Structures are given as structure tokens and as C-alpha cells.
Amino acid sequence: MDINTVSILLIIGLIAGFFSGLIGIGGGIIIVPALVYILSMDQKTAQGTTLFMFMFPIGLLAVLNYYKAGHIDYKSAAIMATTFIIGAYFGGKSAIAIDTKLIKQIFGIFIILIGIKMLWNK
């Protein structure tokens, strides 16, 4: 894995962690589309990789299914997990400081933009 890919994975982990702390989203809304559209992972591998990253806290049984089908990139998941923790901490601090209505608006806009991107791309 080259340094550019590692850097991208670290940034994805940081951003996903930040938004997870800020508005309670991360895996499916940020990491999966980022892996698909930025690193050109196929959808199932992106989902399996994201679940592996969350495996111990929430997804052990789901990860087993993706593992059996060969859809997990272990290195990518481990790299993103390191910065996801940092991003989640600062996202949580930011959310506390921002008005609740603004947080709802940020969440809604983000989901709409990701949905549009997924509907109009292959």
C-alpha cells in the first residue's frame, strides 16, 4: 500500500470520526462512499472494510459474513480506525458547541448530497 493511499485512508478516518462525533454518522454515510468514489473500492468491499473497522464495538457478526465472501480490506480498515477515533473526539466537541438546529441541517444536507451522488453515478 503506497503512502498516498495511506494518507487518503487516514483522512477518511479523521473526517468520518469527526462527523460521527458531530452528528452521529460515519460508517455507511461517509466511509463507504469515500472508499468507493475516492479509492475505487467495489461497494461490497467498502462495506466489509467499514464493518471490519467497527467490528469489535458493533459489527462482529456482520463482518463474519463479509469475511467469508472475501470482501474486507484489513489494512485500510486498520489505518482509518486510527484517525476515526481522533476525528470522533473533535466532532463531539464541535457538536456540543453548535446549535441543535444547525446540526440537524448539516446532517440533512450531507445525506441529500450523498444520496444524489449515489443515484447519478454508476
pLDDT tens digit sequence for 19-36: 887 776 776 788 888 998
Note whether 79 and 53 are within 8 A (CB): no
User: Could you give the angle at which helices 74-97 and 3-23 cross, rounded to 10 degrees?
Assistant: 40
Average pLDDT in the 75-93 region? 89
pLDDT of 27: 67
Q: What are phi and psi of 10, to 5 degrees?
A: -65, -40
Domain enclosing residue 68, as ranges: 3-120
Beta strand spans in 4-122 (E):
none
How many domains does the chain fold into?
1
The C-alpha atoms of residue 88 and residue 22 are separated, in whole angstroms, by 7
Average pLDDT over the chain reads 86
User: pLDDT band at residue 62, thresholds of 50, 70 and 90?
Assistant: confident
Average pLDDT over residues 77-106: 87
> What pLDDT does 5 receive?
96
**pTM across the whole model:** 0.66
Q: Nine-digit cell at 117?
A: 451522488
